[in-house]
Amino acid sequence: MPLRWHLSLLTAAMVLFSMGAMTIVAYMTVSASLTASMDRSMEEKANSLLARTIDPLFVSKLNDEISLFKAYNPDTRISISPPGWQGTHGDVLPVPLELQSVTSGVKVSIQSLGGERLLAAGNEYGAIVVLAQDLSETHQLISALGVVLMAISAAGVFIAIAAGMVTASAGLKPISRLQRAVDHVTRTDELKPIEVEGNDEVANLTRSFNAMLEALQESRTRQTQLVADAGHELKTPLTSMRTNIELLMMLNRQGATGVISEEDRKDLERDVLAQMEELSTLIGDLVDLAREDAPRRELEEVELQEVLETSLERVKRRRPDVSFELKTMPGQVLGDPFALGRAVLNLMDNAAKWSPPEGTVRIRLSEVDEHTFGLTIADSGPGIAPEDRERVFERFYRSISSRSMPGSGLGLSIVKKVVERHGGSISVDESDDGGALMRVTLPGAPENGDRQTTAKDTAVPGAKGRGQVFAQRWMDRNKKDYQ
């Protein structure tokens, strides 16, 4: 059933209930009022007749008085028993037993009997007057009133249905427009915003729908851009690797005429392995980037010191010719331990890659204030030009000086996403010896009893104890994500 019919029938049901209740109350009220009015009139007449029964002249002309009463009240029967009389005069009407022995005052009994309203009144002198008024006229009046009220109720219900249809159609018009817009999006895949009219709940719903369309369009744009950039970046190493592999295959065929030296062959093989490594790194970075765009994991308390020490262990194995200095302190942040570990590892890898042999990478974790940590990673490389410092966090961006180095241009973009997701910030500066200096701030809480750990050219003390479990969890989790 359409919604407009639901609303119309609901309105009609409410009107029907209200009108029915009003009809019943009005019917009962009018019926009781008419009956009470009749009773008062009959009681006044009975009292008047009782007062006259002590008049000897009235009693002597009793039959004439009864005839005169009926002439003025044709719908009423009457029976009178004067004081001291054993019988009654007039119509044959029943006399209640309680009126046959009245000791003082006037006693009245009223009841409905056989379509008549029967009123009997007696006094202490023994006089009794019984009146019986026909109720057919009253019943007709009450029935007519009931029919009129029922007709009014029925008309009110039909009017309510019509008004409900008009109101529902007018109220649901914006929803119908919203439905057509949704159908248009489904049919054409065009994420076009819907025009907002008014400031009611439907307008707010339309604004929310437009915000959803905008977010969907932005997500689609990011996805399209990522696919395009990834395809462009993957094409270069694949093309180079394919060329080298085809050359090696041609040289290894039987009857090949081309001959190259052993040194050239080894150079080709090293190029193929390097291109495979570059391709693997690029795919890993793309997976990390897609993971950052995926739904967020549940946050937990993360020990920053463990993250730094574990990441440093991994970087030191890759660059044994570079010195590392680590100054850290105990403290926790609420976040994703694997994402934070990946971001810190990317920063350390980047610093180690740009540092020359015998260079030094300086890592320092300090307390900015009671709610913020500051992490700095400085290298001894050529640094980043001021005009490139804002763009290094863009996807696939690589400055002119870095295009000859291996890398995908995604590492710092992933780092920025992780840091900002954890409520922090990252910026680029120049280190004391002219290299690059990465400044990261993260919200967190330092532990009581600050301590510092310094490592230079050796493994970090305590890393194999406290950090080994974290490292194993970090590597196991990443292994599952890549499968």
Report domain extents, the chain: 3-141, 211-278, 298-482
Query: Strand, helix or coil at 116?
Result: strand
Q: Note down pLDDT in tens along the chain; length 483 residues.
A: 666 677 777 777 787 778 778 888 888 888 888 888 888 998 899 888 888 888 888 888 888 888 998 898 888 899 988 887 877 888 888 877 777 666 567 888 888 888 888 998 888 888 888 999 888 888 888 888 888 888 887 887 788 777 777 777 776 777 777 778 778 878 887 777 777 777 777 778 888 888 888 888 887 787 777 777 667 667 767 877 888 788 778 777 766 656 677 787 787 888 788 778 767 766 776 776 666 555 556 678 888 889 899 889 888 877 888 899 999 888 888 888 888 888 888 899 888 888 888 888 999 999 888 888 999 999 988 888 888 777 877 766 655 545 445 555 677 887 888 898 888 999 988 888 888 899 999 998 776 544 343 333 333 333 333 344 444 544 454 444 434
Query: Strand, helix or coil at 95?
Result: coil
Residue with tokens 């410092």: 389
* CATH topology agreement for domains 211-278 and 298-482: no
Task: Give, rounded to a whole angstrom, the gap between the first and last alpha carbons of the chain.
Answer: 50
Residue 189 to residue 273: CA distance in whole angstroms: 43
Residues 6+ apart with CB under 8 A from 427: 389, 438, 439
| Cα separations in angstroms, 88 against 178, 312, 322, 443 | 86, 126, 136, 109
> Is domain 298-482 classified as CATH 3.30.565.10?
yes
- pLDDT at 57 (0 to 100): 87
> Is domain 211-278 classified as CATH 1.10.287?
yes
422: DSSP letter: T
| Cα separations in angstroms, 385 against 391, 400, 405, 418, 436 | 10, 10, 16, 24, 9
B/e letters for 367-400, b = 16+ CB within 10 Å, e = fewer, are eeeeebbebbbbbbbebbeeebbeebbebbbbee
Helix, strand, coil shares of the chain, percent, nearest 5, are 55, 15, 25
Query: Strand, helix or coil at 324?
Result: strand
